[in-house]
Amino acid sequence: MTKGTQYSVTITPTWTGTVYSEGYSVWIDYNRDGDFSDAGEQVFTQAPTQATPVSGSFIVPTNAVENSTRMRVTLSYNANVGPCDSFQYGEVEDYTIIIQAAGPDEEAPSSPTDLTASNTTETSTDLNWTAATDNVGVSDYDVYQDGVQIANVIGTSVQVTGLSESTTYSFYVIANDAAGNSSPQSNIVNETTLSVPTCSDGIQNGDETGVDCGGSSCAPCATSTSNEGFFETGLDGWTDGGSDVARVQTTNSYEGIWSIRIRDNSGTASSMTSPTYDLSDYESVEISGSKK
């Protein structure tokens, strides 16, 4: 083992019949004084569990003695024991390890994985990925957009801004360690930004004032009135659902001098039906009318 380097330990129990809960511990006599009671010499412990295998990781301290020394591994039934305890059920195994001086770190981190893009707008997107691993430790990540590095971050997420609408971008991430080793690139994510919403009349945002037409960067748009009718020249596209609808001239009309009178002389409901309206370009719709 090399000082200053991270290692993993995995313990796999075997049962010939009933599966029991077992506790685990690992010690290393880093200073070669013949015991495992010094600070940091218990490098792994696992509370009693039926899981298999169990594993953990540790870093060999830089002040460890450079020589051969002892590593002790214990498995004990339904308990965690000390390095020199007596117990009825379980097993203890000792191993000889050799600790050497730290040399130059030439091992690159693993590739970051599961890179995804989310919360994409017209000008930004959020990137998230699963952390890379390294024999010593990952220090940071370089974020690339269309093959050009755009950010360096410590965590496993970043918000990319300053993008253009309706444009496809390619992203990947590379992990670095403190020694300057870099990982292979992560998976590539191709993400297309949203289009800037338009108002119902096709005018781009910023050109009108009125109600909000939606979208994270959509400026207010003007209201638009569809099929406003006062029946001055006919039924304004409405259809008579019976035989009792009539246009009448009256001084009580909402606008002008003509109104629609709906009455029921046949014993069944009389009605009118409007034209079909395409509302797909509208953020909100308000229906209003007047009756006398």
Confidence check: pLDDT of 230 > 90: no
Confidence check: pLDDT of 109 > 60: yes
Q: Please indicate, yes or no, if residue 260 is contained in any of the structural domains.
A: yes
Residue, of 11 and 231, whose pLDDT is higher? 11
Q: Please indicate, yes or no, if residue 287 is contained in any of the structural domains.
A: no
Same domain, 12 and 80: yes
What share of the chain has pLDDT > 70, as a percent? 83
Same domain, 66 and 23: yes
Same domain, 172 and 120: yes
Q: Token digits for 192?
A: 């297309």
Q: What is the mean pLDDT of the chain?
A: 85
| Amino acid making up residue 181 | N
Same domain, 23 and 88: yes
| Amino acid making up residue 41 | E
Other C-beta atoms lying within 10 Å of the C-beta of residue 122? 19
Please give the residue range of the domain that contains residue 251.
239-273
Same domain, 17 and 91: yes
Confidence check: pLDDT of 287 > 60: yes
The stretch 156-173 carries a mean pLDDT of 96
Q: Please indicate, yes or no, if residue 199 is contained in any of the structural domains.
A: no
Domain termination site, one of 162, 192, 222: 192
Give the count of domains, the chain.
3
pLDDT at 228: 63
| Residues paired with residue 151 on neighbouring β-strands, in sequence order | 143
Confidence check: pLDDT of 222 > 80: no
Extended strands (E) in the chain: 6-11, 22-28, 42-49, 54-59, 68-77, 90-98, 113-118, 125-130, 138-145, 148-153, 157-160, 168-177, 189-192, 211-212, 220-221, 239-240, 245-249, 258-262, 272-273
pLDDT at 236: 78
Same domain, 80 and 132: no
Q: Please indicate, yes or no, if residue 182 is contained in any of the structural domains.
A: yes
Q: Please indicate, yes or no, if residue 175 is contained in any of the structural domains.
A: yes
| Amino acid making up residue 249 | Q
Q: Please indicate, yes or no, if residue 55 is contained in any of the structural domains.
A: yes
Same domain, 122 and 90: no
Q: Please indicate, yes or no, if residue 200 is contained in any of the structural domains.
A: no
- Give the span between the Cα atoms of 34 and 39, in whole angstroms: 14
What CATH number has the domain bearing residue 130?
Answer: 2.60.40.10
Q: Please indicate, yes or no, if residue 184 is contained in any of the structural domains.
A: yes
Same domain, 84 and 161: no
